[in-house]
Chain A
Amino acid sequence: MLKIENLNKSFDGVKALNDFSCVVHENEIVGLIGPNGAGKSTLFNVITGFIESDRGKIEFNGNVITKYPSHKIIKLGISRTFQDLRLIKQMPVLDNILLCFNHQQNEQIQNIIFRPKSISKVEQDNKQKALDLLRYAGIEDKANDLAGTLSYGQQKLLSIICCLAADSKLLLLDEPIAGINPEMRDKILTIISELPLKGKSVILIEHDMDFIMRICNRLIFMDTGTKVSEGIPEEVRNDPKVIEAYLE
């Protein structure tokens, strides 16, 4: 469903992506690993149109999205989280989720002025869906709290729920369990591992090898912007090139 060919991106001379290519298939969880500064987050930023690539091609479900603006890419069915956790902290948890639903006719000005009834119906439906998602994640009691008042782990969980609300085919999760307690980690692990059953694929960036080994169908190891090794998790973990890179 996602096909990346020879992607290049440098930041003033530093090559963050160097002829990077890969594919992601339907219903699989791909782990993306590599040392700090390898270009993992940059790859997410380029896929979602937050950073423009210098060269290369990205194809998603038959659309060449390389030059698309972010909002168009995301509407096509790619959602992401950020390594530096982004939420609207000053707004209630529920509103954060409502902001992430994909159909947006209730944000159209003409509907707001002339068709308030239809808007409030859509809004009610979305609220119900948002509450269902919160219940699924086990934090429905936080629905009306400001997002910023949640614990760090709950905020990370919420950012994943936001991705679920968008109902995307492909989720790009940037270090979803970094810095959170084991209990929350298990909860997030369950949520992610259920995604392929719902017809979704995931690219997962994570430094926690144990977590990666438990959840991924396939691993890609990258270093200095290039793919070094790729395959089933055991294979990649035992690849001498990977071991060498980690030892350095």
Chain B
Amino acid sequence: MEYILHILILIGIYTILSVSLNLLVGYTGILSIAHAAFYGVGAYVAALMALKLQTPFLLNLFLAIIASGIFGALVGIPSLRLRDDYFVIATFAFQIITFSILNNLVDFTGGPLGLPGIPQPNIFGFEITTHIEFLILVLILAGITFWISNRIVKSPFGRLLKAIREDEVFVRASGRNVSSAKIKVFVIGASLASIAGVIYATYITYIDPTSFTIMESIFIISIVIIGGSANLKGSIVGAAVLIALPELLRFIGLPNSIAANIRQILYGALLVIFMLWRPQGFLGEYKFNK
């Protein structure tokens, strides 16, 4: 039972990541490969605050969101004013730098050994410790993320984002500031991703840099593409499929080391299959193959 709950919690965490990334990749058509870095910023801000300053969970969550948003602005403002390929490179650089800082600033982040003993959330005196309590917390935060994202994409701003994805020149000619809209949505996506990091850190109670690598970013991109770009429900489906599927490998009785390799192959194969035969993913509207 705990095992099932654990899987559901992970699906919740990855739903937050994929829904927030879908705002960028699916709706706006800008490819960020730094999503795991923002996930990591959230996790480390929350962990360090809780460990070093004993601040409460909700404050840490708030600060993580702000910090991630600021980093998003720092990456997005210079690069999104230029061309989209500069943006991809800037996010790539941010991803690499973040990992390297987490890995090398040993005194502060614990380096490769990570940060153990992260306190579990305490919300107004209510301790969250059991799996079921964590699942409820994740569902609430994933729900909020989904609600905000859904409201954005269904709004006139969401229409603007989709129009930018289809034809930037038209949008410029209609008097919109394209780079400012992209920067806004990128900051929102980065902020939302940090929420997943905060839950992850307080749930596992231990983090190290290997959870926030570029491979993780690519994994989140795969969820978005396979679930369906520009479809938020698709991102939930994608998260569920890509998290649950490899777990089935365990039931076949494969040893962990082999299962890990097979998992990588599985993700790669799924991605190729979808790109070739169903570029719009399970539920998407936008074919990710321009």
Contacts and interface: CB of A to CB of B under 8 A. Distances in A.
A99 B177 contact: no
A80 interface: yes
Contacts of A88: 162-163, 166-167, 170
A22 interface: no
Given A90-B166, A91-B166, A70 B155 contact: no
B175 A74 contact: yes
B173 A112 contact: no
A91 B171 CA distance: 13
Interface in A175-202: none
Interface residues of B, number: 25
Contacts, number: 83
B176 interface: yes
A213 interface: no
Nearest to A122: B156
Contact of A98 (B159, B169, B170, B172): B159
Contact of B155 (A48, A112, A166): A112
A82 B151 contact: no
A87 B160 contact: no
Given A74-B173, A75-B175, A99-B174, A116 B166 contact: no
A50 B172 contact: yes
Contacts of A123: 156
Contact of A166 (B167, B171, B174, B188): B174
Interface in B207-245: none
Interface residues of A, number: 33
A6 to B, nearest CB: 25
B145 to A, nearest CB: 13
A86 B156 contact: no
A95 interface: yes
B163 A112 contact: no
B152 interface: yes
Contacts of B162: 88, 91
A109 interface: yes
Contacts of A71: 172, 175-178
Contacts of A113: 148, 151
Nearest to B155: A112
Contacts of B166: 88-91
Contacts of B171: 99
A144 interface: no
B86 interface: no
Given A71-B175, A80-B173, A86-B173, A99 B159 contact: yes
B157 interface: yes
Interface in B131-181: 148, 151-152, 155-157, 159-160, 162-163, 166-167, 169-178, 181
A23 B192 CA distance: 51
B157 A74 contact: no
B250 interface: no
Q: Among the interface residues B162, B163, B173, which one has the most CB atoms of the partner chain A within 10 A?
A: B173
A74 B174 contact: yes
Contacts of B148: 113
B157 to A, nearest CB: 5
Given A91-B166, A98-B159, A113-B151, 16 more contacts: A74-B172, A75-B175, A79-B173, A82-B169, A86-B167, A87-B167, A87-B170, A88-B163, A88-B166, A99-B174, A100-B175, A104-B175, A107-B176, A107-B181, A109-B152, A166-B174
27 contacts: A50-B172, A70-B172, A71-B172, A74-B173, A80-B173, A86-B169, A86-B173, A88-B163, A89-B166, A91-B163, A99-B159, A99-B174, A100-B174, A104-B156, A104-B175, A106-B155, A107-B156, A107-B181, A108-B157, A109-B157, A112-B151, A112-B152, A112-B157, A113-B151, A119-B156, A123-B156, A162-B174
Interface of B: 148, 151-152, 155-157, 159-160, 162-163, 166-167, 169-178, 181, 184, 188
